[in-house]
A and B are shown apart, each in its own frame.
Chain A
Amino acid sequence: MKPRLPVISILLMAIFVVGGSAALVVDWPPGPAHLDWGVWIVVYFGYVYVIAASVFYVLTGR
């Protein structure tokens, strides 16, 4: 039996890497607290995304 690839986690990693890189070069409109939406999405939501994706792997192994 071959080792099983955690396909969904790999997909989430690809979204993080490709989506994150693309989001870095977008010209974002202003958002709350004197920050633009890019900072909110890539930086602060980025941490939430990584924690949620890790918890998903811990719970499902996928």
Chain B
Amino acid sequence: MSQTAQYVAILTLYFLAMIGIGVWFNRRSRSRSEYFLARGKLGPATIGISFSATQISGSSYMGAVGTERIFGYNFSPAGVSSAAAPWFSYILLGDRLRRIAGRLGSVTLADILQARFYSKAVGAVATAVMLVAFIPLIAAQFKAAANVFEVLLGMPYWIGLLGFGGAVILYTVLGGMMAVAWTDLIQGFIMMLGFAILAPVAVLSAGGFSEMHRQYGQLNPQAISLMGKMPALWVVSDFLVWGFFQIGGSPAAVTRFLIPEDERTLKGAMAYSVVFQSFIYVCATLIAIASGVLLPDLDQPDFTLPTLVAKLLPPVFGGIIIAAVLSAIMSTLSGILLVAGSLVVENVYVKLIGRTIDAPQGLRIARWVTFIIGALAMAVAFRPPAAIFWIVTMSFSFMASAFTFPFLLGLWWPRATREGGLAGMVGGAVACVVWYVLGWARYGSLENWLGGIWPALFGPMVSLVLMVVVSKLTVLPPEEVTKTFFAD
């Protein structure tokens, strides 16, 4: 059996196992709320790893190694900050969201924003911002997976897309949140296993920890320290944005805070998330520095991980690393797909259009909507238009700008008003897009910004100022809202 045939056999079994989990949970949901959220039905490990696996996409898992190989320790603070993201998110949002979602019976984050800012317009804007960012993200994840099949396994793009996409859509549609969270847990362990195997092998092959750094410093002297290769503002922006601003930038992961019914589960989940993400990013750093020594002439950063695997590991372990990369893509994809489905059903169909549906009908609609979104995104991924890549590049900054402070002030500051919330959300999102456009007009690239200030920093700052000023100038929120949200 050829190496490729072995990889395909391993991956086929893996996909069948994931679909099996979807089938297993197929009959466990009795309502669309159970299907989308599974409140109270998941433990700390499942919630914690699911949060992190959703947050770490394929491009973070594979791309972090490639980028860090070139930028070295200039890029590493972003990894530390990413590991801190669950620490910020769970403490500043987690417990407040959990309590309020339990009180209101909310299924989506847009439900909570709509209730907090007592306005359908806020709910509609939040839904629109998330869907505009999510749907191209889903298509981009499909495309990334199909590229893995094409580049690493030499298979036609469309076969990879149909096989991978079909498996993810099937288990997500069949099993809902229960299947998504449990598959995330398994995928998270595969991601850890992949790096746990590769990191020590790579470091030892590069001569051990100290010798590896000596050689890397000689080959890439500006990247062996925190500064040098990249401007100071770039390094500091990376450090600030990838931690704190994940609060608003990753609503698909933050939706996991609506699942636990008790504080203890949520705290346990936080511990799992932080340890998991710290492990992944420490290993990514070690693998990246080792690859800088072992593959000094490699041109394509994205090929760092597969090339290193081919160089250092036998096929069976190579299969695990490919499965790990696909796991990172799958977990992000299924999480976003399910949240997009919940937004369309709960916030568009039920709240905006005003349809009333009973439990069995709601469950059917939930499954169909999730399937249709997945199928549409897969169709787009066959030949993605250029505009999608613009949106994907901007999506994190866009959501961080729109949601970070409306969530934070909405949950902790009773004085925040409807007008303030709306101004913060719309103003932040618009400021972010304007900042990207100005950077593009000046430098001809979405990766260069005026003054080197990342739109994910600029947008939230505009949002914060608008939210505070407008809230101070408008009338206090109704007492029932203050009671619901702040009478703990």
Among B87, B226, B278, the residue within 8 A (CB) of A24 is: B226
Q: Which residue of A lies closest to B485 (CB)?
A: A3
Interchain nearest-CB distance for B250 vs A (Å): 17
> Which chain B residues lie closer than 8 Å to A28 at the CB level?
225-226
Task: Produce 1/0 per residue, B77-120, CB < 8 A to A.
Answer: 10111011011100100001000000000000000000000000
Interchain nearest-CB distance for A22 vs B (Å): 9
> Which chain B residues lie closer than 8 Å to A32 at the CB level?
210
> Which chain A residues lie closer than 8 Å to B83 at the CB level?
46-47, 50
Asked if A34 and B213 make an inter-chain contact with CB atoms under 8 angstroms apart, the answer reads: yes
> Which chain A residues lie closer than 8 Å to B274 at the CB level?
50-51, 54
| Given A2-B488, A3-B488, A17-B243: A43 touches B209 (CB 8 Å cut-off) | no
Asked if A4 and B282 make an inter-chain contact with CB atoms under 8 angstroms apart, the answer reads: no
> Which chain B residues lie closer than 8 Å to A6 at the CB level?
91
Interchain nearest-CB distance for A8 vs B (Å): 10
Asked if A43 and B275 make an inter-chain contact with CB atoms under 8 angstroms apart, the answer reads: no
Q: Which of A5, A16, A34, A38 has the most CB of B within 10 A?
A: A34
Asked if A51 and B226 make an inter-chain contact with CB atoms under 8 angstroms apart, the answer reads: no
Interchain nearest-CB distance for B466 vs A (Å): 22
Interchain nearest-CB distance for B206 vs A (Å): 12
Interchain nearest-CB distance for B14 vs A (Å): 30
Asked if A21 and B236 make an inter-chain contact with CB atoms under 8 angstroms apart, the answer reads: yes
Count the B residues whose beta carbon is within 8 Å of the partner chain — how many?
Answer: 46
| Given A24-B226, A38-B226: A55 touches B87 (CB 8 Å cut-off) | no
Among A24, A39, A47, A53, the residue within 8 A (CB) of B232 is: A24
Asked if A13 and B88 make an inter-chain contact with CB atoms under 8 angstroms apart, the answer reads: yes
Q: Which residues of A (1-49) have their CB < 8 Å from a CB of B?
A: 1-6, 9-10, 13, 16-17, 20-21, 23-25, 28, 32-36, 38-39, 42-44, 46-47
| Given A17-B244, A34-B213, A57-B267: A3 touches B77 (CB 8 Å cut-off) | no
Asked if A33 and B210 make an inter-chain contact with CB atoms under 8 angstroms apart, the answer reads: yes
Task: Produce 1/0 per residue, B210-226, CB < 8 A to A.
Answer: 10011001000000111
> Which chain A residues lie closer than 8 Å to B488 at the CB level?
1-4
Asked if A35 and B271 make an inter-chain contact with CB atoms under 8 angstroms apart, the answer reads: no
| Given A33-B213, A38-B225, A47-B83: A3 touches B96 (CB 8 Å cut-off) | yes
Asked if A53 and B87 make an inter-chain contact with CB atoms under 8 angstroms apart, the answer reads: yes
Asked if A24 and B235 make an inter-chain contact with CB atoms under 8 angstroms apart, the answer reads: yes
Asked if A34 and B217 make an inter-chain contact with CB atoms under 8 angstroms apart, the answer reads: yes
Q: Which residues of B (249-290) have their CB < 8 Å from a CB of A?
A: 263, 267-268, 270-271, 274-275, 278, 281-282, 285
Interchain nearest-CB distance for A39 vs B (Å): 5
Asked if A47 and B226 make an inter-chain contact with CB atoms under 8 angstroms apart, the answer reads: no
> Which chain A residues lie closer than 8 Å to B76 at the CB level?
39, 42-43
Alpha-carbon distance between A43 and B83 when the two chains are bound, in angstroms: 11
Asked if A47 and B225 make an inter-chain contact with CB atoms under 8 angstroms apart, the answer reads: no
Asked if B77 and A43 make an inter-chain contact with CB atoms under 8 angstroms apart, the answer reads: yes
Asked if B486 and A34 make an inter-chain contact with CB atoms under 8 angstroms apart, the answer reads: no
> Which chain B residues lie closer than 8 Å to A55 at the CB level?
271
> Which chain B residues lie closer than 8 Å to A1 at the CB level?
487-488
> Which chain A residues lie closer than 8 Å to B232 at the CB level?
24-25
Partner-A contacts on B (CB < 8 A): 73, 76-77, 79-81, 83-84, 86-88, 91, 96, 209-210, 213-214, 217, 224-227, 232, 235-236, 239-240, 243-244, 263, 267-268, 270-271, 274-275, 278, 281-282, 285, 411-412, 414, 486-488
User: Can you list 30 contacts pairing A with B, beta carbon distance less than 8 Å?
Assistant: A2-B414, A2-B486, A3-B411, A3-B412, A3-B488, A5-B412, A17-B240, A20-B80, A20-B239, A21-B239, A21-B240, A24-B226, A24-B235, A25-B236, A33-B213, A34-B224, A35-B213, A35-B224, A36-B224, A39-B225, A43-B79, A46-B80, A46-B83, A47-B83, A47-B278, A47-B282, A50-B80, A51-B275, A54-B87, A54-B274
Partner-B contacts on A (CB < 8 A): 1-6, 9-10, 13, 16-17, 20-21, 23-25, 28, 32-36, 38-39, 42-44, 46-47, 50-51, 53-55, 57-58, 61
